[in-house]
């Protein structure tokens, strides 16, 4: 693409907008493709940013208000407590799933146990690999203010920032980056590179700690003894706590994979963690496609239900797990 | 219109909101224009939904309305659409039809490669893209914060978008060549 056209594109997308249609009427085919592709990428990125800021929902509300009646989601939100909305479970956190798979291994009837052994072992192996996996975190349901105990006022939850629409990237047992939504999570980013843990949010310095678990409490489910990392540490707590059911090959994944369903119901309220867990996994590869943590303890200040969705398995650079990669503003660093 | 029809329409709106946002973002410059025209396009679709052939995909029909609304806005001179030759608009539409054809139940699933390609950018490329699009900073704000000349900043942004184009082409989300010129 020649320099004048590149300049027009730069001005149009990142500078002062102007009508340049006449100047590019006679684009060569290759330049036409390039111009269109770059504009499409600009549009895709704008949409991605809007999605992270939850602006799409606001637009939909405005449209439905304009045509009368309001949106069903909005009415649901206003109805407090809310039923679980369209639960589109798509995936889960691998480490938790591996832990639960071990629970299944230990607690299932003999027939199911034999059928599940191979896939369970594959899942555990997968969880220990230094592979990168990217998840989106969805808050499926929240407790209504009246359902919360006095220990967890709504204001505290608001300050802590919700994990709704956060992106989580994990590698192995101790590396992770959790990027909260700018809207729901106050722009908070936290992580651990295996040597130190770190966290910062909009307008704050970077807090770092040699304690690798220092900032893990922002991880979904972590406050409820369902760790996404270091599953062995918590296995003893988990293995006896849930009544498990396995339905091998009960569903087909979006790319044709045969998925099995593992459900767990907590045996006693004495046990911490969500009341119910649902996992859909591909036993042949060890990949988990869906996981729902339902009826989380209300005293934890967490949402009622969280859905974890595997959205990517591309490798990221080692430095991705260090705070410097994400700290575009070169913030001050504070050691905790 | 009855409640059932409104509910069906809302489902269409929800299923296509992200796609329409991306499409309008490709044709327009400023965010306020996207907000305004998103509503205008959806309301126009609501008015004309009896004309919609439900046996065919809703997305291309919606983009057709969007394209006309954007051009009408252009003619009124109220907004400043960019680079809107017919050829370019058709080429953009072809790219969106290609994205429509990808596997996935939702736009987010079909366009998942965008996040993957951002992650694959160089450290500096990723930083500047995140500042521009996820933090919502203008090129001028980024240049000021990073103590760059505005021209250098815009070139870096363009270079990063170019790398994303190549990455998305390699993953099949974008066509390497469009056919509109033929």
Neighbours of A224 (CB within 10 A): 16
Give the nearest partner residue to B30 out of A17, A41, A64, using CB atoms. A17
Does A47 contact B158 at a Cβ distance shorter than 8 Å?
no
- % of chain B at pLDDT higher than 70: 88
Using one digit for the tens of pLDDT, what is the confidence trace for A189-210?
888 898 899 998 877 889 999 8
Is A74 a residue whose pLDDT tops 60? no
* Residues B45-61, mean pLDDT to the nearest whole number: 82
With beta carbons less than 8 A apart as the criterion, state whether A167 and A196 touch.
no
pTM summary value: 0.51
**Chain A residues inside the 8 Å CB shell of B145:** 329
Which domains, from first to last, does chain B contain? 1-104 (1.10.1740), 112-182 (1.10.10.10)
pLDDT at A263 over 90: no
Residues 6+ apart with CB under 8 A from A77: none
Q: What is the pLDDT of residue A104?
A: 43
Is the per-residue pLDDT at B2 higher than 80? no
Distance (Å, whole) CA B181 – CA A277:
53
Q: Which residues in chain A are contacts of B21 at CB distance < 8 A?
A: 43, 46-47, 50, 56, 59
- Candidate from B39, B116, B177 with C-beta closest to A33: B177
pLDDT tens digit string along B113-128? 998 899 899 989 998 9
Domains with residue ranges and CATH for chain A: 3-52 (no CATH), 94-335 (2.50.20.10)
| A266, A260 Cβ separation under 8 angstroms | no
pLDDT (tens digit, 9 = 90+) per residue, A98-111?
444 444 444 444 44
- Which residues 133-152 in chain B show a CB within 8 A of chain A? 133-136, 138-139, 145, 150
A32/B165 CB distance under 8 A: no
Which residues contact residue A286 at a Cβ distance below 8 angstroms, ignoring those fewer than 6 apart? A94, A119, A122, A123, A124, A125, A126, A127
Give the closest-approach CA distance of A15 to chain B in angstroms.
7
* 3-class SS string, chain B: CCHHHHHHHHHHHHHHHHHHHHHHHHHCCCHHHHHHHHHHHHHHHHHCHHHCCCCCCHHHHHHHHHHHHHHHHHHHCCCCCCCCCHHHHHHHHHHHHHHHCCCCCCHHHHCCHHHHHHHCCCHHHHHHHHHHHHCCCCHHHHHHHCCCCHHHHHHHHHHHHHHHHHHHHHCCCCCCCCCCCC
How many angstroms separate the CA of residue B41 from the nearest CA in chain A?
10
- Judged by average pLDDT, the poorest of A114-128, A244-258, B1-15 is A114-128
Report whether pLDDT(A75) > 90. no
The residue that leads in pLDDT, A153 or B77, is: B77
């Amino acid at each position: 693409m020649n320099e004048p056209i590149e300049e027009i594109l730069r001005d149009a997308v990142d500078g002062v907008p102007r009508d340049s249609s006449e100047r590019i009427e006679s684009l060569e085919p290759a330049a036409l493709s390039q111009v269109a592709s770059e504009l499409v990428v600009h549009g895709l990125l704008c949409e991605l940013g809007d999605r992270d800021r939850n602006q799409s929902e606001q637009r939909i509300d405005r449209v439905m208000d304009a045509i009368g009646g309001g949106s069903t989601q909005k009415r649901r939100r206003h109805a407090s407590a809310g039923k679980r909305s369209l639960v589109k479970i798509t995936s889960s956190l691998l480490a938790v799933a591996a832990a639960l798979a071990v629970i299944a291994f230990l607690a299932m009837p003999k027939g199911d146990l034999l059928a599940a052994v191979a896939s369970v072992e594959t899942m555990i192996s997968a969880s220990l690999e230094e592979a990168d996996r990217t998840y989106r975190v969805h808050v499926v349901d929240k407790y209504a203010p009246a359902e919360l105990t006095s220990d967890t006022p709504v204001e505290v939850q608001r300050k802590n920032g919700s994990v709704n629409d956060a992106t989580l990237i994990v590698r192995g047992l101790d590396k992770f980056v959790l990027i909260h939504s700018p809207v729901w999570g106050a722009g908070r980013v936290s992580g651990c590179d295996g040597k130190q843990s770190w966290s910062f949010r909009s307008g704050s310095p970077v807090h770092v700690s040699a304690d690798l678990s220092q900032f893990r409490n922002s991880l979904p489910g972590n406050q409820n003894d369902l760790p996404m990392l270091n599953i062995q540490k918590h296995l003893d707590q988990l293995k006896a706590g849930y009544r498990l059911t396995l339905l091998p090959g009960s569903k087909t994944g979006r790319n044709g994979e045969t998925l099995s369903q593992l459900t767990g119901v907590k045996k006693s309220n004495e046990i911490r963690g969500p009341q119910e867990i649902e996992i859909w996994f591909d036993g042949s590869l060890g990949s988990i496609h869906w996981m729902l943590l339902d009826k989380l303890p209300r005293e934890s200040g967490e949402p009622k239900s969280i859905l974890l969705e595997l959205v990517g398995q591309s490798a990221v650079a080692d430095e991705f797990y260090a705070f410097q990669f994400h700290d575009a503003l070169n913030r001050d660093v504070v050691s905790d | 219109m009855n409640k059932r029809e409104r509910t069906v329409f809302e489902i269409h709106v929800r299923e296509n909101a992200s796609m329409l946002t991306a499409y309008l973002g490709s044709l327009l410059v400023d965010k306020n224009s996207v907000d305004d025209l998103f509503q205008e396009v959806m309301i126009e679709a609501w008015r004309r939904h009896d004309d919609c052939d439900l046996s065919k995909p809703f997305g291309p029909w919606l983009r057709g309305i969007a394209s006309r609304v954007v051009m009408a806005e252009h003619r009124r001179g109220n907004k400043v659409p960019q680079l809107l030759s017919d050829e370019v608009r058709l080429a953009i539409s072809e790219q969106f039809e290609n994205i429509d054809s990808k596997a996935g139940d939702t736009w987010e699933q079909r366009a998942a490669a965008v996040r993957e390609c951002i992650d694959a950018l160089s450290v500096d490329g990723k930083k500047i893209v995140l500042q521009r699009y996820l933090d919502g900073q203008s090129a001028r704000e980024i240049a000021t914060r990073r103590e760059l000349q505005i021209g250098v900043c815009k070139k870096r942004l363009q270079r990063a978008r170019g790398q994303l184009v190549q990455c998305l082409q390699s993953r099949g989300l974008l066509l390497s060549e469009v056919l509109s010129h033929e």
